[in-house]
Amino acid sequence: MAEILVAMSGGVDSSVAAALLVDRGHTVVGVTLKLWGGESDSGCCSVSDVDDARRVAQQLGIDHHVFNFGDEFDRFVVDPYVADHQSGRTPNPCIECNRHIKFDKLFRRADALGFDRIATGHHARISTDDHGIRRIARGADAAKDQSYVLHMLDQTQLARLSFPVGDLAKDDVRRLAGELGLRTANKPDSQDVCFIHSQGGRQVFLGDRIPLRAARVVDGDGREVGSVDSIELVTYGQRKGLDLGGDAERRYVVDIDHGGATVTVGHQEELLVDHQTIDDLAWSHEPLPGEFLVQCSAHGRPQPAALVVGGDEDQLRWLDPQRRVAPGQAVVLYRGDDVVGGGTAGRHRPNR
């Protein structure tokens, strides 16, 4: 049996993940990561979460520790989040937390302490083909699947990871937690970015760290039709908060000029593009030719595209036009249920 370090967030999924591993006879130690040192009410990184994880560990009869990775979290997650907004990108901090903290810093600490494996409560699976190649695969519960935010994991990491609840539906996870009497059985899922407080949201958080710039809103002919308080908070496809003066016509953000402090609105079809550039494309094993199903948000519907590699930039060519993806969002490539690669949406180029 293996010695496994289980990342316990204080939620029901990681609680059941630890319980399942204990039941299978492994030597299990729970660890909660203290990441955000500021105010939080999102149900993640709070004092109550640490307490919930500690109490569940006591119920399971396993040791529990708290690792403080606050400095690393600021450096690799919070600071880039702020910088991305300032430069006109729409970041995904949960992906960067996975990339730099949960599956890098935590792995290094596990190695130093002599653990064989790491486990988390993510709803994802690990598939292995006939050649021994491992890939992140979608979790059994499609509504809770988290493979998108784990696309960066490589072969070395996958060889030492476990996702014990990946084969379970969320209802079954809660049922098991209830049967075991775990205090987290009915705890709501965390939905929001852990360092953004619900009172004030992104505007207050960013406004405390960078100057927020007002911008004018124009239509396709350049006529000014509204305004926004903070261009740093605007993203493609946005419809609300544009101060369009009660205009009943539905209009969406179709272009953002950060340098010129101008947001352009138009009709929904103006968001459609035939290609998408990808920055920092990386493969889970090796580059693959052909077509893929491509997912561009955590719960978005995958769409088919062909990858064009080479030249000045990597591009996806959509089989049917799709809505423009905000720069900074993850673009993840699937074959069936398996993640085969992923990168970051780049700046939009005109259709051609």
Active-site residue, selected from the candidate residues 44, 45, 94, 194: 194
- State yes or no: is 44 an active-site residue: no
How many CB atoms neighbour CB 253 within 10 A? 23
Set 44, 45, 94, 97: catalytic member: 97
Look at residue 352 in the predicted model and tell me its pLDDT.
46
For 74, the 3-state DSSP assignment is helix
Residue 196 is predicted with a pLDDT of 85
If phi > 0 it is left, if psi is from -120 to 50 it is alpha, else beta; for residue 179 that is alpha
Q: Is 45 a catalytic residue?
A: no
Residue 16: strand, helix, or coil = helix
Residues 257, 344, 149: CA angle, nearest 5 degrees: 125
Q: Where are the beta strands (DSSP E) in 75-179?
A: 117-119, 124-128, 134-138, 161-162
- Taking only the tens place, the pLDDT of each residue in 100-126 is 999 999 999 999 999 999 999 999 999
Q: What distance in Å separates the CA atoms of residue 316 and residue 293, rounded to the nearest whole number?
A: 11
| Contact predicate 52/200, CB 8 Å | no
pLDDT at 142: 94
CA 309, 314, 319, 325: dihedral to nearest 10 degrees? 170
pTM: 0.91
Provide the token pair at 337.
Answer: 């249920």
Give the sign of the dihedral formed by CA 161, CA 167, CA 170, CA 171.
negative
Element containing residue 341 per DSSP (H, E): strand 338-345
pLDDT in tens, 316-334: 999 999 999 999 999 999 9
What domains sit in the chain, N to C, each tagged with a CATH number? 3-121+164-179 (3.40.50.620), 212-266 (2.30.30.280), 272-345 (2.40.30.10)
Low-confidence ranges of the chain (pLDDT < 50): 351-352
pLDDT of residue 347: 79
